[in-house]
Every structure is written in structure tokens, then in C-alpha cells.
A and B are shown apart, each in its own frame.
Chain A
């Protein structure tokens, strides 16, 4: 699953960088050269990349929680195995991205502590509930699908260590998406109860998917450091449009109705009406759509979503529960490879 599409703190130049070095750095990036750890980089870039990789890592391990709830309920041996492996992959992505962040100067432990104490954020979409098996299908189809679109663009970024990690991760995200697609197809080819479960889950996750890419960027985004330095390479709105063009027709062909919904505080749907704004513009090939509720987005990102408190407290429980193991091995030996 992915993180970095949510707004990362705006980057500001500290103003005391060597102007020649900075100019050379910016020229390299403009020329499409990737940055490797031994290269000179502005402090703001280093901090920005750390923030981005850390946010992404946090999202991977928090993202493991909603789906983790369904491992013990998966309805067949193969689904049980696939879901366990999928959640495990997300933990693996977190581990790799924490390593990228550690190399930028922050310790793993500090990052985990900041996460559980709410000092750092993770992707907003994991603050929504997954009350049925249909939600698991939707998360793997829509959210992993959105994550791939986003992470493909992140793999076109400029920071070498993040790019190679993203390439490795994307290979696994493709498995997640495929298995999600298969689950959605299976459910929508199934019984009435299965179809209803899928439509209900779709109603919960479609608006979350639209918000997945974050709100529209500022008009001058290309001039701001995040895009100028190729930490991100595509505007949120443009990613969202690609997502809708890809998934709206697929959903409709599957027999799903694309609704505008209202939700209660638990994130459960209270009313639905079909999105009349969803129209294909034949000339551009783009689907128009009704904007999701951005007030809700900001409410959730500030900590008041349906599952924020629960996600963090379960992570905190895990952190505290495992403390004794980390203390025990930390006190152990640090023997190096034996001499041959």
C-alpha cells in the first residue's frame, strides 16, 4: 500500500545553502539525473525525503492492520494464504522504507515511537473501517490499484534509494492488485449476498479511493521544491483522473453502482444516490465525477476519522508488547561475520 500521495509538510529552503551547489543540484535534477546518497543535497531535500519515506513506511505498517483483521476469517485455504502473504508484504514494504529513512538519519525506534504517539502521520485511507470480507476485496482492488498508480510515478522520482525500493515494492503491489481483482470478480459473479456485500464495500471505498491521491495541488506546484526536486512527479488531480478513467468503467461493467454516499462517525454508509456527475467526455476520454467530501478528508487527517484512535492504539499495543524482545536482543552480541 502506499503513502506519499497525502500532503507531506511543505518544504522550505533554509536559505543558507551554498548557492552554487544548490544550482548544480537543481540542474542535475532538471537533467533527469538521479541523486545517490554520496552526492551533495540541500538539507531541505534530505529532510523532505526522510519525511516522505517515513510517512510511506508508517502507511505500510498501519495499512497492514485493517486487512490483518480478516486473516483469521478468510473463506478458503488459498485466500487465507494469499491474505497472510499480502499483509506480510506490506510489513516488508514498511521494513524496507524504514531502512531508507534510517539511512537519512532517523532511528527506527524513534520513527515507531513518533508514529504511535501521533507525532507523525500515515496515509489517511487506513482510518476507515473494513467491516466485511467485501472490504478486503475492495482494498486490494481499489487501494492497491491506486497505490500502484501513485508508486509508479514515485519510481520516476529523483532519489536513488527511494526509487530502487519503489521498484521492488511495485512488483509485489501488482500481485496484490491482481488478487484483489480476482476477488471482486469472484464476488460479483457469485450469490446475491456476495454481490450485496461487494456493492456495500464499494460504497465505502470508492470515495476513499478518490481522496487517496490527496487534494488538488497548488497552481504553482511545479515551481515548488517537492515537484521541482522530483520528490513527486505528477499532480494529485491528474493521478485521480487516471484512476477514475481506469476503474469507473470497470466497476460499472462489473455491475457496481457508483454512488455518492454519506457516512456516519463509524465510517459506515447512511445514504447513497448514484453519481449523476459521472459522465464520459468522448473528446478527452476523461470521466467527470463529483468531488469527494474534502471537509471529511481534513477532519480525518486531523485525527477524527472512524478508526484513527483504534489503529494507533493497536500499533502502540504491538510496540509496547514487543519491547521486551527488542531489549533482550539489543543487549545481546553483535558478532560480525566470522573470518574465513
Chain B
């Protein structure tokens, strides 16, 4: 575990994997409670995709560092998780917040995994290739809803705008640099400005079509937040919930 946490590439992979895990974890909780049955089913399929993608990445790390993917997913100390504060931001079962948050993350992950896939590791590239088509499907489906509900007018537009406003402040956390060692590492950290510019371009174009506005800022490289293990309070609650059953009998098979 320590070897994995000290490895710069592993930390970068963990940032995406943990985003996927926590996003899938929080979003799957909506299963059965969505605003219409048809979208409930579609949204749950996306949660399953997110959890599956997390698993694909944990399996990569598991192979490399000889660890059980479930142990990586469930048994790290809270400060060893590299997800950002946006994915764990509580939506309070407000569909607009859930949707906006999920979409902002999905666009980011799509661009991030594209870059991750170009690093010099055949296994990792193959895994990113497997995830990408599903990621594009997600971005398309979510973007469609953003445009639809944003441009519907009245109550719908107001709720969507409120949701963007609600998450705007934590959205920059997506771009925090995970792991202290990566801060100065040009191989892994380079292109963060480009990534933000590209992401913001896509996001702003869709928001404009939806008749919504949002301003997002790129945090300093040195920012210490969720990606470096300093998580907002709700993360610990979510992690505690996630590991509740496993802790009944540590080490048991489930």
C-alpha cells in the first residue's frame, strides 16, 4: 500500500479512480428515487459505469502493487483517498445539483483519462481505451439533460442555475494536484492549465446553449485539498457509510 501511495503515476490514477468510486457511490444512492422511472434506470446505469471504471483502475493498481482491488477501494485511511471535494459534495437529493455535479466531473474525467491513456504504460492505456467510449456516452447523455432542463425556462432553468451556483465554488477542486510530489513533476503535472482551458471551453459552450452561466477558477498548484487527502467533512461520513458492513468482520469474505 505504501509503495502505491508513494508512486507518482499511481497517485494520478488514484485521483481518477477515487473520483469515480465516490461519485458512483453517492450517485447510486439515487437508484429507485429518480424523477422519472426511465431516467432513474439510465442514471443508475451511469453509476454502475462509474463504479466499474473505478474497479478497472483499482485492478490496474492491484496488479502493479500486488493488492486486492477491494482493499484499495475500501481499506485506505481517509487521508489516502485522492478524490476531490466536488465528487463528494452532497446533493441533498436535489436532482439539479446531482446532474450538474455529475456532468462537470464527467467532462473532466473524459479529458483526464484521455491524457492518462497517452502516458507510457500499455496496460493503463488499454484500460483507458475501454473506459473512454462509456465516458463519451455519459458526457453526451448528461450534456443533453443540462441543455434540456437549462433551456426549459421558468422553474427548471432557475433550479439548474441554482445548482450551478451551488457547486461552482467547489468545482475547481477537480484540478487540484494530487500528491505533494506531483506538484513539481512536469511529466505528470504538465498541461494542467491546458486541461482547465479545454474543460472550461466545453463546459461554457454547453452552459451557453442551456442559457446558464457559471464561473470556475483554476486553483493554485500548491493547494492542499481533497486530492491530497485533506477532505471536506462529508467525505469522512461517506467513507464511514461505505465501509460499515466490511468493518463488522474485518478481513472476512463477503
Contact = CB atoms under 8 A, between A and B. Distances in A.
Interface of A: 61, 64-65, 68, 70-77, 79-81, 84-85, 87-88, 90-92, 94-95, 98, 108, 133, 186-187, 189-191, 193-194, 197, 314, 317-318, 321-329, 331-332
Name the residue in B28, B45, B52 with the highest tally of chain A Cβ atoms < 10 Å from its Cβ: B28
Contacts of A77: 51, 54-55, 58, 69-70, 73
Contact of A72 (B25, B39, B73, B148): B25
Interface residues of chain B: helix, strand, loop or mixed (majority): helix
Contact of A324 (B29, B39, B55, B156): B156
B95 A194 contact: no
Name the residue in A71, A108, A133, A191 with the highest tally of chain B Cβ atoms < 10 Å from its Cβ: A71
Given A65-B32, A73-B242, A88-B41, A321 B148 contact: no
A319 B38 CA distance: 14
Nearest to B26: A72
Contact of A74 (B34, B41, B245): B245
Contacts of B155: 324, 327-328
B248 A193 contact: yes
Given A73-B245, A77-B58, A328-B152, A84 B51 contact: yes
Query: Sorted from nearest, which 10 A-B pairs have the closest CB atoms?
Result: A322-B35, A64-B32, A328-B156, A325-B35, A328-B152, A75-B254, A88-B44, A75-B245, A95-B37, A318-B33
Given A84-B51, A194-B252, A332-B148, A321 B93 contact: yes
A79 B155 CA distance: 38
A314 B33 contact: yes
B31 interface: yes
A80 B254 CA distance: 11
B94 interface: yes
Interface string B53-73: 011001000000000011001
Contacts of B180: none
Contacts of A90: 32
Contacts of B152: 328-329, 331-332
A64 B40 CA distance: 12
Q: How large is the interface on B (under 10, 10 to 19, 20 to 34, 35 or more residues)?
A: 35 or more
A193 B37 CA distance: 38
B31 A327 contact: no
Interface of B: 25-26, 28-29, 31-41, 44-45, 47-48, 51-52, 54-55, 58, 69-70, 73-74, 93-95, 148-149, 152, 155-156, 159, 238, 241-242, 244-246, 248-249, 252-254
Contacts of A193: 248-249, 252
Contact of B32 (A73, A87, A186, A327): A87
Given A80-B51, A88-B48, 17 more contacts: A61-B32, A68-B33, A72-B26, A72-B28, A75-B74, A75-B254, A87-B31, A88-B44, A88-B45, A91-B44, A186-B254, A190-B252, A190-B254, A193-B249, A194-B252, A323-B35, A324-B155
A185 B54 CA distance: 27
A208 B51 CA distance: 33
A73 B28 contact: no
Contacts of B74: 75-76
A194 B249 contact: yes
Contacts of B34: 318, 322
B232 to A, nearest CB: 18
A199 to B, nearest CB: 14
A80 B28 contact: yes
A91 B58 contact: no
A326 B35 contact: yes
Contacts of B31: 64, 68, 71, 84, 87-88, 91
A308 B13 CA distance: 45
A84 B47 contact: yes
Name the residue in B34, B40, B244, B246 with the highest tally of chain A Cβ atoms < 10 Å from its Cβ: B40
Contacts of B47: 84
Nearest to B39: A325
Contacts of B69: 77
Contacts of A87: 31-32, 44
A98 B36 contact: no
23 contacts: A68-B31, A70-B245, A71-B29, A72-B26, A72-B242, A77-B73, A81-B51, A81-B52, A84-B44, A87-B44, A88-B31, A88-B41, A88-B44, A108-B37, A190-B252, A191-B249, A193-B249, A322-B34, A324-B35, A324-B155, A324-B159, A325-B39, A329-B148
Given A68-B33, A98-B37, A327 B156 contact: yes
B57 to A, nearest CB: 11
Contacts of B45: 88
A73 B35 contact: no
Contacts of A326: 35-36
B207 to A, nearest CB: 17
B80 to A, nearest CB: 17
Nearest to A77: B55
A175 B227 CA distance: 38
A94 B45 CA distance: 16
Contacts of A323: 35
Contacts of B248: 133, 193-194, 197
A61 B155 CA distance: 27
A72 B26 CA distance: 7
